[in-house]
Amino acid sequence: MPYDVVDARVIPEGRLEVLSRLEVGKLLDTSRGGLHQLFRNCSLAVLNCGNELDDGKELLDRYRSFDIRVVPEERGIQLEVTAAPATAASLYSTAAGSLGWEGEPQQTEKFSKTLPLPKGGSFDLSNISGDIVIAGGAGDQVVIDAVKRGKTAEDLKLVQIEVASTATRVEVRTQYPRERRNVNVSVDYTVTVPRAAGVTVRTVSGNLNLATIDGELMADSVSGDVTVKSASRLESARTVSGNVTVTSAASDGDISLASVSGDVKLSQVKARGIDANSVSGGVTLADVACSRAKVKSVSGDIVFGGPLAKGGRYSLQSHSGNVTVHTDGKTGFEVSAGTFSGDISSDLKIVSTFGGEPPADAPPGRHRGPGQRVRGSFGDGGALLELNSFSGDVKIVTRPAEIRK
């Protein structure tokens, strides 16, 4: 059946009103890159805030024609939205722009609510602008504290915090008025949930900080950093403009992590598979245990450090950055490495299966020149490494990987 849709042109406000040509160029490059689909899907999820539909697959199927793109202007950008849900509240506000302001007085309004949530329950929060902090704790209650910030008390009244609950689910939505634009209000949330609860959180403009959550966790931001600490069942952590940082996390399945214009950093993470991507930032995986890793970056370095699983497959690819694998040498591997204009080096002696055998007295760390490919093995060849960079170096080293602050 057909669903009502709307087209809109969103005009940023505040610090995003005037941008340099370089800044505009970077936004255009990243919005049209390989993560455009992620940007589109996250935007559609945010625009769906407030609707009863919470099935992601059905949402994508219902609005197949939806799209969002960055349009360059003389001194900045606009967002062109097509075939969006007609009920999208954020299209009637200034959600795409910076809702913060400096040097002007602020009005604030506090909100608090406590609701029961039994074991096995889930918590869902959707916001437009503002930071979100969620922590797992003892007990079987959800404690929601929020602060609305705006220029006037009248603006604060226009933005509503809606809370709905069932026996096993609590949902929180920040609702902006559909009939008015330029409502300069942000809402910061601090939430405590039962530690075993599943958590889904998304925002357009704001940082996400999530800690000590043992239930399934999914976190998405369009403009802001995503930070996760101590998560036992992490499924995804993604942002378009910001960094993704994950420390001490695990999953029985695969973890998806992505940023368009920021770094992705993981440490002390254990999962079956890891998919990590960045367009203009680096990707670092330190002390990571997984049997499959697929890591990509367009203009950043890629670092992988952790035990290699027998039968595991690790694909690391950067266009203009270095690719480095840190290994303890305890597990054998097969390697296929290539670079167009960089060097290939290894601290371990690789027995070549392509391009001839190296001399018997060749040191392990010898470099092979630009434009080279290396195929070979170390030890029993139990794992498979696929390492590629167009203009960077490819390295296999034996020292531990570190997360750089």
How many whole angstroms separate alpha carbon 281 and alpha carbon 298? Answer: 8
For position 360, what pLDDT does the model report?
Answer: 45
Report pTM: 0.74
How many whole angstroms separate alpha carbon 21 and alpha carbon 211? Answer: 38
For position 99, what pLDDT does the model report?
Answer: 35
For position 269, what pLDDT does the model report?
Answer: 97
β-bridge mates for residue 126, sequence order = 173, 202
How many whole angstroms separate alpha carbon 324 and alpha carbon 344? Answer: 10
Distances (CA, A) of 387 to 55, 115, 292, 317: 37, 50, 14, 6
Task: Specify the fold of 5-92.
Answer: MCP/YpsA-like (3.30.1850)
Q: In tens digits, what is the pLDDT along the chain, a chain of 405 residues?
A: 567 777 777 766 554 555 556 556 666 655 555 667 777 887 887 777 666 666 777 888 888 888 888 877 655 677 888 888 876 645 544 333 333 334 445 789 999 999 999 988 999 999 999 999 999 999 999 999 999 998 888 889 999 999 999 999 999 999 998 877 677 889 999 999 999 999 999 999 899 999 999 999 999 999 999 999 999 999 999 999 999 999 999 999 999 999 998 999 999 999 999 999 999 899 999 999 999 999 999 999 999 999 999 999 999 999 999 999 999 888 899 999 999 889 999 999 888 775 444 444 445 555 555 568 889 999 888 899 999 999 999 999 987 777 665
Instruction: Provide CB contacts within 8 A for 65, sequence distance 6+.
Output: 5, 82, 83
| E strands present in 176-263 | 185-194, 198-205, 208-223, 226-241, 244-250, 254-259
Instruction: Provide CB contacts within 8 A for 400, sequence distance 6+.
Output: 286, 287, 305, 326
Q: Which string of b and e fits 33-55 if b means at least 16 CB within 10 Å?
A: bebbebbbbbbbbbbbbbeeeee
User: Any idea where the domains of the chain sit in the sequence?
Assistant: 5-92, 99-206, 282-405
Instruction: Provide CB contacts within 8 A for 14, sequence distance 6+.
Output: 97, 98, 99, 100, 101
For position 17, what pLDDT does the model report?
Answer: 54
For position 307, what pLDDT does the model report?
Answer: 93
**Helix, strand, or coil (residue 161):** strand
Strand 264-270 relative to strand 244-250, pairing: parallel
- Residue 271: closest CA among 297, 244, 243, 248: 248
H/E run at residue 325: strand 323-326
What type of residue sits at position 149?
A: R
Cα-Cα end-to-end distance for the chain:
51
21 φ, ψ (degrees, to nearest 5): -60, -35
Cβ 68 vs Cβ 43: under 8 Å: yes
For position 288, what pLDDT does the model report?
Answer: 96
